């Protein structure tokens, strides 16, 4: 029985890592460094959970004399936890924004947000499994593992991804107010998503003793909402990637007209299936480096456009640098 329980926990943890790798893989045009995505995952698991645990417990204990033990527990779960945890998970964006150009667009923000959310859920799940392990109730543990892996983990993933996408959208826009408006919108969406799931799960638990059918219906409704939110997030990711495809092609065609790259390459690099072939570059050109430099060149053009003149010098420096890098790589194939 213990072996089966351990097997379920290990499988659940590996599945969360599978979610992470799938989301990382989705970014077809300029994937983020896997080690940096891994560090973001670790922050969610270690920093995010530890800080949230301390703050949630402190606020919950403070609320007991005012609300009573039962109401305080509900308040902490439904209101305090989503509000605090989305901040703690989101703190990873401070170093990501300050150190280097790690976030080029909303797709990047989504990926880092999803990574910190999945890291948080991974450690939180392990804590739940340890505290609810009962060798005489294996069925209960398996149910818990299933619900937390398939739904609670996705709630953390989607919620933090919403915040990350908003931060990625704001990253290269103009005006200081963008750092208030867009992250605030993303944060509110994250808290509402997280709080709704926690509220429905709490309500289902409250019904379980007296109205099993109602409890099941409430939990089913929550699960369907999570599935819907996950599908919505996948669609938003695809729309973001489609937007990237369009402007990569647009700006690379401009670079081709300048003679920086061959025109044929501007019709290959924006298409991830086409560029996987090995017959379109001379043997001496490092395909990975060339595609990355050309893609970042297009990104900087796009960022220069949407920033409306702000940070003009920095973007132009990057554009010049990536042009030189692209031309240097092509020269090796001549």
The predicted structure's pLDDT at residue 126: 85
Burial of 245 (0-12, 13-18, 19+ CB in 10 A): middle
Task: State the pTM of this model.
Answer: 0.92
Residue 1 scores a pLDDT above 60: no
pLDDT tens-digit readout, 44-67: 999 999 999 999 999 999 989 888
pLDDT tens-digit readout, 110-164: 999 999 999 999 999 888 888 777 777 777 778 888 888 889 999 999 999 999 9
Output the CA torsion 264→269→271→274 (10° steps).
70
Q: How far apart are CA 152 and CA 197, in angstroms?
A: 8
Q: What percent of the chain has pLDDT over 70?
A: 96
Q: What is the mean pLDDT of residues 96-113?
A: 92
8 Å CB contact between 116 and 92:
yes
Residue 93 scores a pLDDT above 90: yes
What is the pLDDT of the chain when averaged over all its residues? 90
C-alpha distances out from residue 2 to 129, 134, 142, 150, 228, Å: 12, 9, 12, 22, 34
8 Å CB contact between 245 and 270:
yes
Question: Which distant-in-sequence residues (6+ apart) come within 8 Å of 196 by Cβ?
Answer: 222, 225
pLDDT tens-digit readout, 247-261: 999 999 999 999 999
Name the CA radius of gyration of the chain, rounded: 23
């Amino acid at each position: 029985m213990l072996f089966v329980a351990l097997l379920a926990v290990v499988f659940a943890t590996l599945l969360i890592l599978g979610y992470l790798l799938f989301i990382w893989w989705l970014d077809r045009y300029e994937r983020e460094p896997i080690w940096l995505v891994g560090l973001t995952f670790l922050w969610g698991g270690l920093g995010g959970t530890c800080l949230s645990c301390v703050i949630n417990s402190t606020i919950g204990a403070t609320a007991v004399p005012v609300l009573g033990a039962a109401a305080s527990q509900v308040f902490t779960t439904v209101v305090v936890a989503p509000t605090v945890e989305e901040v703690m998970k989101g703190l990873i964006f401070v170093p990501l924004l300050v150190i280097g150009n790690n976030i080029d667009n909303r797709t990047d923000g989504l990926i880092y947000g999803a990574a910190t959310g999945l890291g948080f859920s991974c450690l939180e799940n392990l804590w739940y499994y340890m505290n609810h392990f009962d060798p005489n109730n294996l069925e209960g543990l398996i149910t818990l593992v299933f619900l937390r892996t398939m739904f609670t983990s996705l709630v953390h993933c989607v919620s933090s991804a919403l915040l990350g996408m908003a931060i990625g959208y704001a990253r290269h826009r103009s005006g200081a107010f963008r750092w208030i408006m867009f992250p605030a919108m993303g944060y509110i969406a994250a808290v509402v998503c997280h709080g709704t799931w926690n509220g429905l799960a709490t309500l289902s638990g409250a019904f379980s003793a007296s109205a099993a059918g109602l409890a099941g219906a409430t939990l089913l409704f929550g699960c369907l909402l999570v599935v819907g939110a996950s599908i919505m997030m996948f669609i938003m990711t695809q729309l973001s990637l489609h937007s990237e495809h369009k402007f990569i092609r647009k700006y690379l065609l401009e670079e081709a007209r300048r003679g920086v790259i061959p025109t044929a390459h501007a019709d290959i690099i924006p298409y991830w299936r086409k560029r996987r072939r090995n017959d379109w570059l001379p043997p001496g050109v490092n395909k990975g480096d060339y595609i990355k430099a050309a893609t970042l060149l297009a990104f900087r053009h796009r960022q220069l456009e949407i920033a409306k003149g702000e940070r003009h010098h920095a973007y132009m420096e990057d554009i010049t640098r990536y042009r030189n890098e692209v031309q240097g790589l092509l020269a090796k194939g001549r």
